[in-house]
Every structure is written in C-alpha cells, then in structure tokens.
Amino acid sequence: VSDYCMTADHEHVIDGVLVAKGDHFTPAHINHSSKRWNLMRRSRYRYQQVSYIATRDIEPGEELLTDYGRKYWEGRQEQEME
C-alpha cells in the first residue's frame, strides 16, 4: 500500500499511485496541510464514495490541500508538515 491511499469504506482503499495513470483525478493530486487546507473530505462509506469539497474559491494552478489527519501520520511523525 502506498502513501497515496485513502479509505473508501471500512474494507476498501483507493491507491492513488495505481489509479494516477492518465488524466484521472486521484488522491495523489492532493497534498497535506493542517493549517492552509482548501479541500474538505466527505466519505460516504455506505456507497464506497469519497468526495472532496472546496472550502473556498481555488485559483487555477493553486495547490490542492487537505489535512490528512492524525492516523495518516502515525509512524511518520518525522515527516509531518504543517
């Protein structure tokens, strides 16, 4: 499992590295920020659906950011960025 995974439900994950080939939008296109995030994650586990919703207007070319959450950083504390 790569660092670009997100849970789709309690049993499935989406691996952004595996699906990033081509022009599809994947988790690999979203970076972490605990302070400057401009996307909010919405999970609908019942439907195995993950959505990202902009929290404000995002300019063309602007980096997409979300807070990966504490669980993502377990075992990676030395790599964590704000």
CB 82 within 8 A of CB 33: yes
The predicted-structure confidence for 15-55, as pLDDT tens digits, reads as follows: 766 665 666 666 667 888 889 999 998 888 777 777 889 99
d(CA 31, CA 71): 16
- Could you tell me the pLDDT band of residue 56, with boundaries at 50, 70 and 90? very high
Query: In the prediction, which pLDDT does 27 show?
Result: 63
CB 20 within 8 A of CB 5: no
**What single string gives the DSSP state of each residue in 33-70?**
-SSS--EEEEEEGGGTEEEEEESS---TTPPPEE---H
**Which residue from 74, 35, 67 is spatially nearest to 52, judged by alpha carbons?**
67
